[in-house]
Amino acid sequence: MISFSSQTETSIKFAADLFRQSKHAVILTGAGFSTPSGIPDFRSTGSGLWSRDEPMEVASLNTFRTHPEDFFSWFRPLASQIFYAQPNPAHLALAELEAHGYVKSIITQNVDTLHQKAGSKTVIEMHGTMKTLTCSQCYHQAQAEAHLLPFVERGEIPHCPKCGQILKPDVILFGEQLPQAGWFAAQREARQCDLMLVAGSSLEVLPVAGLPMQALDRGAHLAIINNMPTYLNVRADVVFFEDVAELLPAITERVLNG
């Protein structure tokens, strides 16, 4: 049993009450949601991916098109971590809340599909997915399973089974637009919700970072769990700086069992 301070326990009870009173709760998750599963985030000092690499040099659409070997060399360690990762207790807690009707949808900035592996059903992926790859020439879409293992274990760059050109993972790189259908769905959820929980996101990447403001503008409650402040902490009903994998199960337990 995780022990929290009395102040945090009071905030957990308050957050649980928000969920129980809500009719349409939506979750927004970022990279910090998956760090307990062993996947690094992007902006944490020292450990974040962008503390070691320049994003426009390694993770842009231009790099993929002009120097695909450089992109895949950078991408391989991250792909390996994602390939072997398993849902952590926070993923499982959200799936349980959804199964009991307390969560209507999850909007995620993550590409690791861990929400789906945990059992969540309504997941809107804003930055793409590692489940599929698409040919840069003929646009044939391939399931990632057949290509990820050779890439992760031996560094084999995936090629299209139809035309032989390089397959691009269906993740959104710098210089690419967000998937239109996903963006429209996310905006709809933000505008319809009466509670939004932001978990593991620094809210620094637009346009997704603007979704909580859309919810607030329509009168929704806002809760935030993150290891560093966000621009909306001052607008939130409750803010936690706890480990998401410890805190969300505690909130879920309080929601379900009082």
Q: Which of 127, 147, 159, 221 is catalytic?
A: 127
Q: What residues contact residue 192 under an 8 Å CB cut-off, 6+ apart?
A: 24, 26
Question: Taking the CB of residue 46, how many other CB atoms lie within 10 A of it?
Answer: 6
Residue 150 · residue 116 · CB < 8 Å: no
Q: Please report where in the chains the tokens 């199964």 appear, as a residue.
A: 99
Task: Report d(CA 243, CA 7) in Å as an integer.
Answer: 15
Q: Please report where in the chains the tokens 């879409």 appear, as a residue.
A: 141
Task: Report d(CA 231, CA 201) in Å as an integer.
Answer: 11
Task: Report d(CA 179, CA 162) in Å as an integer.
Answer: 24
Task: Report d(CA 139, CA 65) in Å as an integer.
Answer: 14
Task: Report d(CA 88, CA 245) in Å as an integer.
Answer: 6
Active site residue 127: yes
Q: Which of the residues are catalytic? A: 127
